[in-house]
């Protein structure tokens, strides 16, 4: 059941992002406690040392992708986490 609940949340977030509708979870961590049947939200701040969205990112493309795919992703994709950009 747990993968179904979390999968539904992830699918809903994906549809919202694709449609540009609603309020996404960007900048928030959603924690689900199945035993208590509760959801809690925690605000997340951008880490300037983050390898993905920090001031000097070292992750700049999909793992295992060729140089061409990495270059294409870097020029066409929005920042992965969307924080602070
Ligand atoms: Zn980050």
* Mean per-residue pLDDT, 3-11: 94
Cβ 54 vs Cβ 47: under 8 Å: yes
Tokens of 34: 């199945």
Q: Is residue 83 situated within a structural domain? A: no
Give how many domains the chain has, as a whole number. Answer: 1
Domain that holds residue 46: 2-70
Is 63 inside any structural domain?
yes
Q: Note the pLDDT tens digit of each residue in 12-55.
A: 999 999 999 999 998 899 999 999 999 999 998 888 999 988 89
For residue 78, being part of any structural domain is answered with no
Assess if residue 49 is contained within a domain. Answer: yes
Question: Distance (Å, rounded) from C-alpha 6 to C-alpha 8?
Answer: 5
Domain membership of residue 41 (yes or no) is yes
Q: How far is the CA of 2 from the centre of ligand 1 (A)?
A: 26
The token pair that represents 38 in the structure block: 């509760």
pLDDT band per the 50, 70, 90 thresholds, residue 85:
very low
Q: Within a domain: residue 79?
A: no
Going from the Cα of 53 to the center of ligand 1, the distance in angstroms, rounded, reads: 4
């Amino acid at each position: 059941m747990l993968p179904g609940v979390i999968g539904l949340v992830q699918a809903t977030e994906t549809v919202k992002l694709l449609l540009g509708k609603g309020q996404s979870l960007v900048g928030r961590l959603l924690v689900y406690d199945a035993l208590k049947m509760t959801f809690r939200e925690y605000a997340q701040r951008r880490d300037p040392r983050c390898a993905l969205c920090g001031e000097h990112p070292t992750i700049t493309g999909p793992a295992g992708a060729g140089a061409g795919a990495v270059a294409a992703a870097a020029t066409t994709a929005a920042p992965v986490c969307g924080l602070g950009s």
